[in-house]
């Protein structure tokens, strides 16, 4: 079975919710919808305090090419436009809406029928994605229409669908592939049409055999879609590692998948594209895994964007007393939340609660030069050295050692027996080097 070769780790999988059917989370009393849930320019708010809005209505318009629309996920009245702390820990603008009923805009097809016939043209699909607010749902939240618009001079011959879900605990994509397999496959066909190509590969790690079998059966009646099981290894869900595992192509340092003629989209994104294109339904809800060893009732929920995380936790049995950390995303790359008022956003694949006993890092000790960090780095970097250079402020040297290649997968810090905060220092070095490089361009 295929996998990527260089580095990688095998953290305990802890997929506690793999067998839990997705449930619909009840509507909250109010939502807070941030205007920046994607990489790129924040959308511009186009509603005012006191306005009535419907579910699916645009409340903030995309600003420029690398930006998408933001829609109301509920119907009700705009209470205020104010700032809220989001997953990053910074304040940003959000539209607060008090929920009244659930009245949708008329254009959305809310029936359960699966429409396989793709009527929209390539260009129409791409603009529909932007209008419908589609972004990468694996966590990177890069606007999908940008990836579908292949720049002139570049060529795409393969679409890769990321169904790897290599982070421990998370099962949102897994459940979606099991429960919405056919819709995902139509979504993949739509993406292929947008890219004007005939081939797609779906990479799924071998710990989701049920999803592999299910999709393989369904894919038989779709043209050009191949389901590819992969050997379990973190971080196989990283674009470069997934492309390497499936095709053997190596995206060069500092370049994009399109440079090796590949475009990668997440399985959840394929589903969102299906809904946007076939049902005219904008991205207003997503599947979120709520999990943790101390949680009474972990599960997978279909959640409206803007719902406070607290509601999700409540539904899963309430916040356990000894909770020390709340993580948005996976334990390897996720962000720790400062409170539970933070709203669910497009890029939030899961919420994990850690008991306080697992929340603290071990104390940092001297580097014993065991080379374990070097051997697990999927990009062939030398984390111990990069940390040292960043600590000493030797940023030019760090740049030579390719610090900016680091994708922050965390394998090095995870592995270091001396508990050194390798990635913390690498991040510091990386951001400094990027700033230096920008200043060079300006001069």
Q: Which of 262, 381, 390, 428 binds ligand SF4 (CB under 6 A)?
A: 381
Nearest Cα residue to 172 out of 55, 315, 23: 23
Nearer to ligand SF4, 322 or 400 (CB): 400
Task: Give how far the C-alpha of residue 312 lies from the chain's centroid of Cα atoms, to the nearest Å.
Answer: 18
Applying CB under 6 A, the site for ligand SF4 has a residue count of 29
Report 236-295 residues binding other proteins (CB under 8 A).
240, 244, 247-253, 255, 260
Does 318 sit near other proteins (CB under 8 A)?
no
- Build a one-symbol-per-residue string for 398-437: x at contacts with other proteins by CB under 8 A, - elsewhere: ----x--x--x-xx-xxx-xxx---xx--x----------
9 binds other proteins (CB under 8 A): yes
Dist. CA 60–CA 34, nearest whole Å: 9
Count the neighbouring beta carbons within 10 Å of the beta carbon of residue 45: 17
Residue 247 touches which of ligand SF4, other proteins, none (Cβ within 5-8 Å per kind): other proteins
88 lies in the binding site for other proteins (CB under 8 A): no
What is the DSSP secondary-structure string of 128-181? Answer: HHHHTT-B-TTTT--BHHHHHSPPTT----EEEEE----SSS--HHHHHHHHSH
Among 420, 425, 428, 429, binds ligand SF4 (CB under 6 A): 420
> For residue 235, is the peptide bond before it cis, meaning its omega torsion is within 30 degrees of 0?
yes
Check the CA dihedral 221-225-230-232 and report its sign: negative
200 binds ligand SF4 (CB under 6 A): no
- Which of residues 105 and 319 has its CB atom nearest to other proteins in the complex? 319
Q: Which of 324, 394, 404, 432 binds other proteins (CB under 8 A)?
A: 324
Nearer to ligand SF4, 222 or 414 (CB): 414
Cα 21–chain centre separation: 21
Q: Are 345 and 139 in contact (CB under 8 A)?
A: no
Verify binding: residue 416, ligand SF4, rule CB under 6 A.
Answer: yes
For other proteins, the binding residues in 187-246 under the rule CB under 8 A are 240, 244
Asked if residue 153 binds other proteins (CB under 8 A), the reply is no
**CA–CA dist 218, 210 (Å, integer):** 12
Separation of alpha carbons 228 and 236, rounded Å = 13
User: Taking CB under 6 A as the rule, does residue 406 contact ligand SF4?
Assistant: yes
Residues that bind ligand SF4 (CB under 6 A): 367-373, 376-379, 381, 383-384, 406-412, 415-418, 420, 422-423, 426
């Amino acid at each position: 079975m295929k996998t990527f070769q260089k580095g990688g780790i095998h953290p305990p999988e802890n997929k506690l919710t793999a067998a839990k059917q997705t449930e619909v989370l009840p509507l909250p009393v109010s939502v807070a919808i941030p205007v920046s849930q994607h990489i790129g320019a924040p959308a511009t708010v186009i509603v005012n305090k006191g306005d009535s809005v419907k579910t699916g209505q645009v409340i903030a318009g995309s600003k420029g090419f690398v930006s998408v629309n933001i829609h109301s996920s509920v119907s009700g009245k705009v209470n205020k436009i104010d700032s809220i702390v989001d997953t990053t820990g910074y304040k940003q603008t959000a539209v607060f809406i008090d929920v009244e009923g659930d009245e949708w805009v008329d254009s959305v097809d809310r029936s359960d029928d699966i429409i396989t016939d793709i009527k929209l043209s390539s260009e129409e699909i791409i603009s529909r994605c932007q209008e419908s607010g589609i972004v990468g749902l694996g966590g990177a939240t890069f606007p999908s229409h940008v990836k579908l618009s292949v720049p002139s001079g570049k060529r795409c011959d393969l679409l890769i669908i990321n169904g790897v879900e290599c982070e421990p605990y998370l099962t949102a994509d897994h459940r979606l592939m099991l429960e919405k397999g056919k819709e995902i496959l139509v979504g993949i066909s739509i993406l292929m049409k947008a890219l004007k190509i005939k081939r797609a590969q779906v990479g799924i790690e071998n710990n989701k055999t049920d999803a592999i079998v299910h999709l393989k059966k369904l894919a038989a009646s779709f043209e050009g879609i191949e389901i590819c099981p992969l050997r379990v290894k973190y971080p196989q869900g990283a674009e470069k590692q997934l492309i390497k595992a499936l095709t053997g192509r190596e995206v060069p340092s500092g370049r994009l998948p399109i440079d090796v003629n590949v475009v990668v989209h997440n399985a959840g994104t394929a589903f969102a594209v299906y809904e946007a294109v076939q049902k005219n339904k904008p991205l207003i809800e997503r599947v979120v895994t709520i999990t943790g060893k101390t949680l009474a009732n972990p599960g997978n929920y279909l959640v409206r964007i803007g719902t406070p995380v607290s509601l999700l936790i409540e539904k899963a049995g309430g916040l356990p007393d000894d909770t020390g950390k709340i993580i948005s995303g996976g334990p390897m790359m996720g962000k720790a939340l400062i409170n539970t008022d933070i709203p669910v956003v497009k890029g939030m694949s899961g919420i994990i609660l850690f008991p306080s006993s697992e929340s603290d890092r071990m104390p940092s000790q001297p580097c014993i030069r065991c080379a374990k960090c070097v051997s697990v780095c999927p990009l062939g970097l030398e984390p111990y050295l990069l940390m040292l250079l960043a600590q000493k402020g030797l940023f030019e040297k760090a740049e030579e050692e390719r610090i900016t290649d680091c994708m922050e997968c965390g394998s090095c810090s995870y592995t270091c027996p001396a508990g050194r905060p390798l990635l913390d220092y690498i991040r510091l070095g990386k951001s400094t080097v990027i700033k230096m490089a920008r200043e060079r361009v300006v001069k």
